[in-house]
Structure 1
Amino acid sequence: MKKNILLIGGSYGIGAAIANKLKENNTVYVASRTKKDLPEGIHHLTFDAMENDISELDVPDTIHNLIYCPGSINLKPFKMMSAESFQDDFNLNFLSMVKVVKALLPNLKNAEQASLLFFSTVAVNTGMPFHTSVAASKGAIEGFAKALAAEYAPNFRVNVIAPSLIDTPLSSKLLSNDSKKEKMAERHPLKRVGSVEDIAATAAFLLGDNASWITGQVIGVDGGLSTLNLS
């Protein structure tokens, strides 16, 4: 069945990879600030998750898949972070997502079984220094997703991907040279950082019919970092 798929903030990196993977045999909409790296065949809607109201956009009456991609990597020592920094990360990662989901409830309910996908981080369940703000805001996503999945089952499936470091423009400062890339790769049992294709493949599976009995899950796509200790 051809599906209407809406990505929020999917114009580059992980979002663009997911859009590209799902565009065949589906109608894919990307609501983002710019078109950036979007491939041909994607419907672009100008939208800023922090500023705009998604209900004002011309989205389909029926949305089968919703993916929320906006996020931050704000890595600093806790003593250097202000309360405002925490609030900014929380607004972008979590509250803006909640507003989008709430506004699109009627569209999602029109699908026989809508599938929603959000993004967390390996740092939520694996304590890491300098991750206090991002872990806090992404942790809220995990709790919200499980509660939403329970409340709207069986009409919605809601799942979360919790990646480790992925090679995207958002993480460019952490991977700005070969030495940094090698150091980051060595932290993972599989000895490399993740690619957008790694995440897109998992996303396509979770959103698809082959995952029709999977909901309320947080899936670690992290090169083994969260569960394996090789020391």
Structure 2
Amino acid sequence: MKKNILLIGGSYGIGQGIAQLLSKENHVIVASRTADGVPPNCHHLPFDATQDDVSDLDLPESIDGLVYCPGSINLKPFRALKPDAFRRDMEINLIGLVSVVQGILPRIKKAERSSLVFFSTVAVDLGMPFHTSVAAAKGAVEGFARALAAELAPSVRVNVIAPSLTDTPLAGKLLATDEKKEKMAQRNPLKQVGQIEDLASMAQFLIEDTGKWISGQVFHVDGGMSSLKVD
């Protein structure tokens, strides 16, 4: 029996990759600002996580899986960041997520077993310059996920994927040329920049029954960035 999977964001980047994988065996609803890039075998609903109420969407009675993809890369020196920048990053990364989870929680609880997957960043565990705002927002996501996993157990699993730099449209400025890509790759223990399929395959693992005994975890899909120091 196909599962009902809701992706918040799924028209480009990591979300699009996840939609492509999950829609092979599941009924996938992509709620995003644009339908451009949404895989043809997914159902699209117009939605802006920072403005719209997910309760207004025409969704199935039960939801077996949720993946929240919206995020931000706001890399500036702390002295150049005003409090409003922190508020904006918190709004898209945490407040939008909280609103979505609260809005669909009754549908999640109607499923026999359900799985929620959120995204963080390697910068939460690994102090990195110019990451104060995004690290603060994603750190909040990790704390929220662990507490929620405890509260919703045993019928709902909650996990987080924390990547390092991945080749997506969101990271376009950092990886705009082959020279920049190579420079960033050399900073990684595996000498690679992350690819969309690296994150999409982990999300698929956690959403589907392959991850049925995993909850409350943060998975560092980061080429070893968070735990390895190599010359």
Q: How high is the TM-score relative to the length of structure 2?
A: 0.99
Aligned 1:38-77 pairs, distance under 5 A: 38-77=38-77
Q: Secondary structure of the residue that 2:20 maps to in structure 1?
A: helix
Tell whether 2:80 aligns with 1:90: no
* C-alpha distance after superposition, 1:162-214 (max 9, x if no partner): 00011010000000111110110001111110010000111111111111110
Tell whether 2:27 aligns with 1:9: no
- Give the aligned partner of residue 150 of structure 1: 150
Q: CA deviation at 1:32?
A: 0.2
CA RMSD of aligned residues (A): 0.6
Structure-2 separation of matches of 1:140 and 1:99: 14
Q: Secondary structure of the residue that 2:150 maps to in structure 1?
A: helix
- Give the aligned partner of residue 78 of structure 2: 78
* C-alpha distance after superposition, 1:122-172 (max 9, x if no partner): 000000000000000000000000000001100110000000011010000
- Give the aligned partner of residue 187 of structure 1: 187
Q: Which amino acid aligns with 1:139?
A: G
Structure-2 separation of matches of 1:69 and 1:219: 15
Aligned 1:170-185 pairs, distance under 5 A: 170-185=170-185
Which runs of 5 or more residues in structure 2 are unaligned?
none
- Give the aligned partner of residue 220 of structure 2: 220
Q: CA deviation at 1:25?
A: 2.1
Structure-1 separation of matches of 2:136 and 2:58: 33
Tell whether 2:216 aligns with 1:198: no
Tell whether 2:32 aligns with 1:32: yes
Structure-1 separation of matches of 2:122 and 2:149: 21
Q: Which amino acid aligns with 1:129?
A: P
- Give the aligned partner of residue 114 of structure 1: 114
Q: Answer yes or no: is the 8 Å Cα contact 2:11–2:39 preserved in 1.
A: no
- Give the aligned partner of residue 163 of structure 2: 163
Q: Which amino acid aligns with 1:219?
A: F
Q: Secondary structure of the residue that 1:174 maps to in structure 2?
A: coil
Structure-1 separation of matches of 2:211 and 2:167: 26
Percent of matched pairs sharing the same residue: 61
Q: Secondary structure of the residue that 1:92 maps to in structure 2?
A: helix
Q: Secondary structure of the residue that 1:175 maps to in structure 2?
A: coil
Structure-1 separation of matches of 2:10 and 2:57: 16
Q: Secondary structure of the residue that 1:55 maps to in structure 2?
A: helix
Q: Which amino acid aligns with 1:172?
A: G
Q: Which amino acid aligns with 1:146?
A: R
Q: How many residues align?
A: 231
Structure-2 separation of matches of 1:118 and 1:36: 22
Structure-1 separation of matches of 2:210 and 2:39: 25
Structure-1 separation of matches of 2:195 and 2:178: 16
